[in-house]
Structure 1
């Protein structure tokens, strides 16, 4: 029984073992085929497999590093792009700010320019209104009679002469020799013009031109550079003392030669009662007589430049980096009913208010001399009175 049981078990196990034997060697073989190094670590197949594996790993690492570098490069590129974009944005911002500042600067400059122009226009209008009021105040109403007009004259000396016939048309205290103040500048102009010095030559105002005698002020600050023509223009029209002094100082031989030329010219014109010691008239030692001044007016009228400069209403020049407007010191040159060919005003304490003119009245050229008038506008009023006297038929018949 026992034997039979063992035999039965063996009989049953044999087929199972055979089946397993069939399966196991194939699986082992497959495992060996999959990993030849397990079967034989020294075999060529194992070595080849290891070589391939080793080659793949560096390649994988290289690929991984390359990928990593590409990622970093992309990130860096993006960062750079962002920085570049940021810089461009910043640059645009700066450009916009700069453009904005430039626009603001231009607006500011334009605004200042407009403000300056507006200020100049405002000053000009205010000055014109003041001049109009002064002109109106200087025009005295007609007196009741010619005698009343004569009695109303406020100038100590008044003299009128017909320059064509040399006939004296009016005379009051004419036999005097008096200080003539800035009337001296007419002789200064005559010497400069007759010397034929270039009018475009640049002259500079220096400390030597500053008035240390009367301590008068001037808008021609030290360092101002103007050509000779402009200096002459301002000396005649606006009675600029520094301009007149600069003209004399820049004469060949300097100031001594210029003063000598002034006195030589006076003698040549027959001005026997006239003497000069400087070109501005600030000195009371510059003296003349009414008859001599009539001769000076006649000579000056023959120089077109003196005619134009002395009767010009206003003139602009650049002084101290700004445009300065100068006006004529004689209000009558702006009156359309006056035909004035030569004009010059003057004032110092010793001379009083002075005015000389060559004007056309009643169809004749007359020399009008007014000296030592009291009151700023009195010389203008006296000129108006003298013209009314000359225009009166009764007065002309009396003369």
Structure 2
């Protein structure tokens, strides 16, 4: 009798055209730079301008949080006051955190990640051994140590267009951020009421994909300045278990980033086991 041919299975993951991953569908992505990495096998599933250096805006705050949490000398329950030094003199952005507002360090981190609160991130970088210059130096040193050779930081908020990276290198930042439980929890929280010393403020998540439960993620961050367009990074759990990192830079609108995230999540959920 003839031997039964061995059944071979293609173990390398890929996005499938029958799942909507078509040339036409890819053309409809709004983000100029995209990188999709299957973390389980370290396989890139899709890339567009993945090595193009671009401003990352508030995606910066993932590195801000990492550097902040790596120095363990400052108790998170201690309060930190917003000062004139924390005001944005670059873009003159508005903040509901007025000078004199006093928050716990834990709450500063929480709203910097969840709501992209710039004065919170600025206060965190000031309240660091050696001050803000030492904090920025630590951010850049950490990026280099992670092999992010095209990544550079000028400040902790992301408001500087000189805060740059690539979609591929941002996948390394997302991986690193995911190792911190506080970053996971804070970036995914949908809303929180913060005690600011003189009353309370309610904050919501800046990422509508997370706010409305449109994707299952373990870490996320959004970012926008005029020079960057709208950016978003996610560590998705496909079928609630398989980690895939998605980085998207340079959409013309916030809704474009959201729609890209929905489209890529659909490709992944259909294509991967």
Q: TM-score, normalised by structure 2?
A: 0.88
* Structure 2 Cα separation of the partners of residues 202 and 180 of structure 1: 29
* Shift, 1:195, TM fit: 0.7
Q: Compared with structure 1, are the counterparts of its residues 145 and 274 closer, same or farther at alpha carbon in structure 2 (3 Å cutoff)?
A: closer
Q: Which has the higher contact order (CA 8 A, sep 6+)?
A: 2
* Structure 2 Cα separation of the partners of residues 335 and 150 of structure 1: 24
In the other structure, the counterpart of 2:27 is 151
* Shift, 1:149, TM fit: 2.2
Deviations 1:10-40, CA, capped at 9 Å, x for gaps: xxxxxxxxxxxxxxxxxxxxxxxxxxxxxxx
Report which of the two structures shows the higher radius of gyration computed on alpha carbons.
1
In the other structure, the counterpart of 1:164 is 40
User: How many residues are treated as equivalent by the alignment?
Assistant: 253
In the other structure, the counterpart of 1:259 is 136
Residue 297 (structure 1) aligned with residue 178 (structure 2)? no
Unaligned runs of 5+ in 1: 1-142
Residue 207 (structure 1) aligned with residue 84 (structure 2)? yes
- Deviating more after overlay: 316-325 vs 186-195: 316-325
- Out of 57, 69, 90, the residue aligned to residue 181 of structure 1 is 57
In the other structure, the counterpart of 2:220 is 343
Contact 2:136 2:154 in 1 (8 A): yes
In the other structure, the counterpart of 1:71 is none
> What SS class does the counterpart of residue 377 from structure 1 fall into?
helix
* Shift, 1:260, TM fit: 0.6
Deviations 1:247-293, CA, capped at 9 Å, x for gaps: 00000000010001101111111111111111000000011111111
In the other structure, the counterpart of 1:388 is 266
Name the one with the larger strand percent.
2
* Shift, 1:145, TM fit: 6.7
- Out of 353, 358, 370, the residue aligned to residue 248 of structure 2 is 370
Name the one with the larger helix percent.
1
Deviations 1:185-227, CA, capped at 9 Å, x for gaps: 0000000111113111211000110101001000000000001
Residue 236 (structure 1) aligned with residue 236 (structure 2)? no
* Structure 2 Cα separation of the partners of residues 145 and 341 of structure 1: 24
* Structure 2 Cα separation of the partners of residues 206 and 244 of structure 1: 12
* Structure 2 Cα separation of the partners of residues 383 and 144 of structure 1: 14
* Shift, 1:392, TM fit: 3.6
- Out of 212, 227, 251, the residue aligned to residue 104 of structure 2 is 227
* Shift, 1:148, TM fit: 3.0
Contact 1:149 1:389 in 2 (8 A): no
